[in-house]
Chain A
Amino acid sequence: AQSVTQLDSHVSVSEGTPVLLRCNYSSSYSPSLFWYVQHPNKGLQLLLKYTSAATLVKGINGFEAEFKKSETSFHLTKPSAHMSDAAEYFCVVSDDSQGGSEKLVFGKGTKLTVNP
């Protein structure tokens, strides 16, 4: 079965500095991968998704992620953090182990703090 591991439970950066949130995946199939963001007291919003069309995926709010098959990684980056980026971020893989089930498997989340 597919799984994802988010390597950091908390990341703290200063406003204006780069953001790196790390995610490794385990999959016996060609995976579909997603990053979702959850702002405090809000639902989840899709940031970006990888669907094998291109290894570098651009998302909303200046975020991007690069799919690296050799490293089984899908790290999320942003060149310059903004205070509004403070949130919890989830790396997600689509579990196709049952053929078309399309269930999502979530990582445990990384809480991003942005300091002024």
Chain B
Amino acid sequence: DADVTQTPRNRITKTGKRIMLECSQTKGHDRMYWYRQDPGLGLRLIYYSFDVKDINKGEISDGYSVSRQAQAKFSLSLESAIPNQTALYFCATSLPGSSYNEQFFGPGTRLTVL
């Protein structure tokens, strides 16, 4: 079945380390998104990409960077991780078109920065 996968599923790292979270999708969707979820805050958009050559900052992009290596792959990097980046990170995809297209979410990556 077509799917959105994220690796790793869990990661513990130390302050100052560089870390990359990866997202792959087999849905054939052009649009991909990275969110972080914090308890009591819902999901907040970090970056989004409408195609391989189109990258846009979201609500909370500071401290993060992304790379769209191919239509199916969208990676999120923390160049120098800090403890307040401890969160649950979700990748999502959608079809282009009108705003009522749903987004399909991966299972999440739980990141802990010590």
Measured CB to CB, the residues of A under 8 A from B are: 9, 32, 34, 36, 42-46, 49, 51, 90, 94, 96, 100, 102-104, 106-109
Residues of A within 8 A of B43 (CB): 44, 90, 104, 106
From A32, A36, A44, A108, B99 is in contact (CB under 8 Å) with A32
- 10 example contacts (A-B, Cβ-Cβ < 8 A) are as follows A9-B40, A42-B107, A43-B107, A51-B100, A90-B42, A90-B43, A102-B31, A102-B99, A103-B58, A104-B43
B102 at interface by CB-CB < 8 Å: yes
Tally B residues with Cβ within 8 Å of A. Answer: 24
Q: What's the minimum C-beta distance from B107 to chain A, rounded to whole angstroms? A: 5
Contacting A at CB under 8 A, from B59-114, are 90, 92, 94, 98-103, 105-108
CB <8 Å contact, A44 and B40: no
B2 at interface by CB-CB < 8 Å: no
